[in-house]
Structure 1
Amino acid sequence: MMKEYHWINTKDLNLPSGQKIILFGAGKGSEDFFSFNKNTGLKSHVTAIIDNDKSMWGNTLFNVPIICPADLSKFKWDKIIVTSVSGREPIAAQLNEMGFSNPEDYLLIGKFPSNGQKNFSILCESLPENYCFSNKACLHIGPGGNFDFETILFQRQAHVTAIDKYDFGMDGKPEILQKINFLFPADIEAMPLEENSFDLVASFAVLEHTRCPEKALSEINRVLKPGGIAVQTIVTRDHRSFSSLNGYTPFSYRKYSDSEWDFISGQKFYQNRLMPCQWLDLARKTGLGILRYETLSKETITPEMKNDFHVDFDNFTIDKLEEVDCLLVASK
């Protein structure tokens, strides 16, 4: 049985063996591609990896240089493979502006892993025991083109709505789209939805990408029915620390000022710098009633690491600074 590659669509990789490849995105998708390339005999030669994050330029991933888009002309290549997931649509637009076309010059193969069952388990653990989904109006923010979670809710006779900024390819236009309400492009900070319209609002690893977290939480509160429940998991760690690149920790972005980080992160799929305790404070500020709050892990911060943090983080205790990722369950 072929190994499952969680971050790339292998079915879209119809490439002649031995081609020179440029990857776009120095993250988990590229790591999956290297593994796929090695284990399937594709034997493509990866000459470089493009990334829009300038802090990565000059680094390497599996001994392959990470370069800026402007340096693309310095390398020989047959095809650009976009392994980025969250940034795939903006990258496609970027490549089109550079004069390239899909699929002649580049392919979009990045995808979000199927976490539908995992996220549904998190949801059920966060709700009252024996919560009944039947006839409940449920909103999922940020499906990422994968609708397993929506399918599970629909099978439990819920009325399902999903919104996202992009369609992310929608993994082959799944049949469930005929049975649910999917809205895109839709902004979580200004959702095109009526107030007091949902019994349940859920998101998983989405809120950390909002530019105005207070607006996002206020919108969740607005669309919730009185007595409705919001379940949010928030991945606060620096997302660059997920890859095999050296030099990144869950706290790497804390060395920058807000404006410096906005410039770095704004070149790709934006991630804000809020810590778990700040999300809790914001939820309360927007009027949400906290039912459950839990930090999901802690990472040790040495004095040297703390000294490298920007002054924006000076007023937080080490205990709070070491908190990483959180679960926020609230009601209206």
Structure 2
Amino acid sequence: MMSALNDTKSNSAVFLLTGIPGQEDVHLWISISFCLVYVISIVGNSVILFIIKTDPSLHEPMYIFLSMLAITDLGLLVATMPTILGIFLFNSRKISLDACFSQLFFIHSLSYIESSMLLLMAFDRFVAICNPLRYASILNLPRIAKMGQLFVLRAVALIFPLPFLLKRFQYCRANVLSHSFCVHQEVMKLACSDIRVNSIYGLSIALLTVGLDSLLIFLSYVRILRTVLSITSHVESLRALNTCVSHLCAVLLFYTPMLGLPVIHRFGNSSSHSLQIVLGYVYLLVPPLMNPIVYSVKSKHLRGRIIRVFFK
């Protein structure tokens, strides 16, 4: 450990990742669960993409946004798989400084892109319910492409400085991370320098992305609810709300752990360490696992197409 600590005084440092503390003896068995999660998630999102691409009747805004969400989820899986499975399968705990910074860049970028995709899907439901006559003209393919590109550029531009802000530090503290992957909130705490700039910048970009997106999603559903309540037909009201259920589930699956993890990192104490570890895995692995399942269950058209592909 002393040699590792000495290494952290230079920029050739290595960080030590952590699996599940106290469960090292059963890491190999735990790895089976993680492997299943990765396989199911990758297959599920790949099937969603294949179905939407090959079925012209699904080339609608709602399903195009769903395909964007699936691509983002696949990116998150690829970004976390090497370190998570490396620890549980091979007990490979070391990660170099540059590899750690690269991983946190992709994790944070893709997380912010996923937040943006959920906002676009909320906008899709808002237009479909509150302004259905203009739905096709507002959400045309060129506009969807431009919105997608804008949000991807926003995430990349905001996260791009983080690795460079971290690289300027000297790391001379205990270099053990709490997770099986690298995140900015935790890596910056290992520096033996003033981290106020990183802390302020990290909080600012979180507010400009996740904070703003979640607020706009909330406002969209306020307008949707007002419109639905104004519909005189009870059946039509329920039908309109039912089209939002899968999106609401995706929003809750994503934002609950994502908003909770930074709060615990900044204000938590030693008693919240286990919750921090659990939320870290939930934050990265549960949305990619559950999104294809939720949308397949709630969309009759998508579910029917999947059944035809596998059981024809």
Short-chain TM bin? under 0.3
Question: Scaled by the length of structure 1, what TM-score is found?
Answer: 0.24
More helix by share: 2
**Larger RCO, structure (CA 8 Å, separation 6 or more):** 2
More strand by share: 1
Question: Scaled by the length of structure 2, what TM-score is found?
Answer: 0.25
